[in-house]
């Protein structure tokens, strides 16, 4: 009889990967990149592909495409528990929408052309995040093929994640009662530091992202005549931004943007930095001679996961160099992004940042601060230690190595939506976005062997969460 891993390998090669390749062929760009998504119907096609394939592979599953006019579709999968007395459930989350094509794919590769090469599957959505659906069903199939018990298994796969998941909270509110009592959620849309360990995210940073606009005049004026006399909006903007951070060191000056790092997370960070070594930073395309702001790999990981940081990501109001004249512009606008650690008083940080940017403005210039994208961070709590131990044991079986626990520098707002509805549930954030996976970029790829092994870890953990050992 085949082992759990062998069953997964066999099913993946014969069933899951061919279906994933069909998914890659669908140019299902997220709504921000395809304004005519309803007309094109590609998001619907992904859901239909998933539904038909699941029913073929796991006939015990109930599969439904949740749709309402004007809202992006969701795929809902429900697999009954092997024990009628088990009331708990495990919930998978992933997304089926994709980033746009991006230019610069290598010869023979393309966003909508699946290619298997050197152990990797290339194509847009392979790793971010189409594999999530196929990995979940592979795990379910393997558990059933091995006659291993499992709780109720639910999967929800949205089609708007790459555009902010605006529709998902609405659907979650409507579907809440159908989820039962989730023991934990498995968020399959995450990074991994290498392909030799299971990587589990224990926190994500929050973000305040807004537009700062400064106006001093009705129209631009000659810089020779008026410089030194009228306020320059760009200079004012620089001064306001410098209220938030030191431009040379990057140190954030707003005290409400900091938190105490839990000792357990510091220990996990140290282990992660020892494993990653220089991989903690050398994936950044720094020019020769340019150094990072931190001096050790440990400091880099702390900065990335538990410290605030400010970035200017956009600028309006200044002409291109080739179009620039001797003009003081009348107004400028900056896109400001402040990454914030979990466990802070987010409302206090919002207030303090807004006040720093809008109070006591030099020379009476007009300032507006609009921040449409504010998302608090998240850190694992509740039964997190129990769930982490469960996955750590499974990781040891499959990889012969302990799992690695590490916070994440980006933001995943939907976790807070899940946690608000299910405050007693644990959360596992894991994924396949490792070195050279190139999510959002040319040559996006999925490491096939790692995906199969991660799927085995997930299957084992799901089985063992009902109190039995494989």
CATH code where residue 451 lies: 3.40.630.10
Q: Which of 238-247, 268-277, 370-379, 412-421 has the highest mean pLDDT?
A: 238-247
Among the candidates 340, 359, 375, a domain finishes at 375
Q: pLDDT tens-digit profile of 412-427?
A: 888 999 999 999 999 9
Supply the mean pLDDT for the chain. Answer: 95
Which among 30, 58, 28 has a CA at the least distance from the CA of 155?
Answer: 58
Q: Reply yes or no on whether the pLDDT at 2 is more than 60.
A: yes
- Shared-domain flag, residues 371 and 381: no
Residue 256 is given by DSSP the state G
Q: Reply yes or no on whether the pLDDT at 260 is more than 60.
A: yes
- Shared-domain flag, residues 359 and 395: no
pLDDT at 467: 65
- Shared-domain flag, residues 166 and 242: no
Within 10 Å of residue 147's Cβ, how many Cβ atoms? 8
With pLDDT > 70 as the criterion, what percentage of the chain qualifies?
99
β-sheet bridge partners, residue 465? none
Within 10 Å of residue 382's Cβ, how many Cβ atoms? 15
Question: What does 282-340 look like in DSSP terms, one character per residue?
Answer: TTS-PPTT---SSSSHHHHHHHHHHS-EEEEEEEESS--GGG--SEE-SEEEEEEEEEE
The whole-number average pLDDT for the span 307-320 is 97
The whole-number average pLDDT for the span 465-470 is 63
CATH code where residue 323 lies: 3.30.70.360
Which among 101, 79, 87 has a CA at the least distance from the CA of 29?
Answer: 101
Residue 437 lies in a domain: yes
Among the candidates 375, 399, 427, a domain finishes at 375
What ranges in 15-154 are assigned the alpha helix state H? 17-24, 37-40, 42-57, 131-145
Q: Reply yes or no on whether the pLDDT at 470 is more than 60.
A: no
The whole-number average pLDDT for the span 329-333 is 98
Q: Reply yes or no on whether the pLDDT at 469 is more than 50.
A: no
Which among 238, 229, 231, 240 has a CA at the least distance from the CA of 330?
Answer: 231
The domain in which residue 335 lies consists of: 206-254+308-375
pLDDT at 84: 84
Burial of 168 (0-12, 13-18, 19+ CB in 10 A): buried
- Shared-domain flag, residues 369 and 381: no
Q: Are 173 and 378 in contact (CB under 8 A)?
A: no
Q: pLDDT tens-digit profile of 15-69?
A: 999 999 999 999 999 999 999 999 999 999 999 999 999 999 999 999 999 999 9
- Shared-domain flag, residues 210 and 200: no
Residue 470 lies in a domain: no
Q: pLDDT tens-digit profile of 105-132?
A: 999 999 999 999 999 999 999 999 999 9
Q: Reply yes or no on whether the pLDDT at 457 is more than 80.
A: yes
The separation between the first and the last C-alpha atoms of the chain, rounded to the nearest angstrom, is 14
**What angle do helix axes 263-276 and 297-306 make, rounded to 10 degrees?**
130
- Shared-domain flag, residues 80 and 173: yes
User: Can you count the helices (H) and strands (E) in the chain?
Assistant: 14, 18
The whole-number average pLDDT for the span 424-447 is 95
- Shared-domain flag, residues 83 and 219: no
Q: pLDDT tens-digit profile of 170-208?
A: 999 999 999 998 999 999 999 999 999 999 999 999 999
Q: How far apart are CA 273 and CA 275, in angstroms?
A: 5
For 278, residues 6+ apart whose C-beta sits below 8 A from its C-beta are: 297
Q: Which is higher by pLDDT, 44 or 385?
A: 44
Count up the domains in the chain and report the number: 2
For the full predicted model, state whether its pTM sits above 0.75. Answer: yes
Residue 401 lies in a domain: yes
**What angle do helix axes 17-24 and 131-145 make, rounded to 10 degrees?**
160
Residue 149 lies in a domain: yes
Among the candidates 331, 349, 375, a domain finishes at 375
Residue 438 lies in a domain: yes
Residue 276 lies in a domain: no
């Amino acid at each position: 009889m085949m082992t759990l891993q062998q069953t997964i390998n066999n099913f993946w090669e014969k069933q899951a990967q061919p279906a994933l390749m069909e998914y890659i062929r669908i140019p299902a760009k997220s709504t921000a990149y395809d304004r005519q998504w309803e007309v094109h119907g590609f998001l619907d096609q992904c859901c239909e592909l998933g539904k038909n394939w699941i029913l073929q592979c796991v006939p015990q599953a109930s599969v439904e495409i949740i749709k309402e006019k004007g809202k992006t579709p969701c795929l809902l999968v429900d697999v009954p528990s092997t024990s009628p007395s088990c009331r708990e459930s495990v919930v998978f989350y992933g997304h089926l929408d994709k980033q746009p094509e991006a230019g610069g794919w290598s010869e023979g590769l393309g966003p909508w052309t699946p290619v298997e090469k050197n152990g990797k599957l290339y194509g847009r959505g392979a790793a971010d995040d189409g594999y999530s659906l196929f990995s979940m069903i592979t795990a379910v199939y393997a558990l059933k093929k091995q006659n291993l018990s499992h709780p109720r298994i639910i999967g929800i796969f949205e089609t708007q994640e790459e555009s902010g998941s605006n529709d998902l909270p609405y659907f979650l509110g409507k579907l809440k009662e159908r989820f039962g009592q989730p023991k934990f959620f498995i968020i399959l849309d995450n990074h991994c530091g290498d392909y030799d360990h299971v990587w589990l995210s224990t926190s994500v940073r929050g973000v305040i992202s807004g537009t700062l606009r400064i106006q001093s005049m009705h129209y631009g004026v000659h810089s020779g005549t008026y410089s030194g006399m009228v306020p320059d909006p760009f200079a004012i903007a620089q001064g306001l931004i410098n209220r938030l951070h030191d431009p040379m060191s990057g140190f954030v000056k707003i005290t409400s943007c900091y938190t105490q790092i839990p000792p357990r997370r510091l220990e996990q960070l140290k282990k992660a930095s020892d494993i990653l070594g220089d991989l903690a930073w050398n994936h950044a395309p720094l020019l020769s001679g340019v150094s990072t702001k931190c001096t050790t790999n440990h400091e880099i990981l702390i900065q990335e996961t538990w410290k605030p940081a400010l970035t200017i990501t956009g600028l309006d109001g200044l002409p291109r160099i080739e179009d620039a004249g001797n003009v003081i512009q009348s107004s400028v606008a900056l896109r400001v992004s402040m990454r914030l650690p979990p466990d802070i008083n987010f409302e206090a940080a919002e207030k303090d940042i807004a006040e720093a940017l809008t109070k006591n403005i030099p020379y009476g210039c007009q300032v507006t601060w609009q921040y449409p994208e504010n998302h608090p961070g998240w850190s694992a709590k509740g039964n997190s230690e129990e769930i982490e131990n469960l996955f750590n044991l499974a990781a040891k079986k499959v990889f012969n190595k302990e799992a690695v626990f590490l916070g994440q520098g980006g933001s995943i707002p939907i976790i807070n939506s899940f946690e608000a509805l299910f405050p007693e549930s644990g959360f596992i954030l894991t994924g396949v976005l490792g070195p050279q996976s190139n999510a959002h970029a040319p040559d996006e790829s999925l490491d096939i062997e790692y995906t199969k092994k991660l799927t085995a870890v997930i299957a084992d953990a799901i089985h063992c969460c009902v109190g039995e050992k494989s």
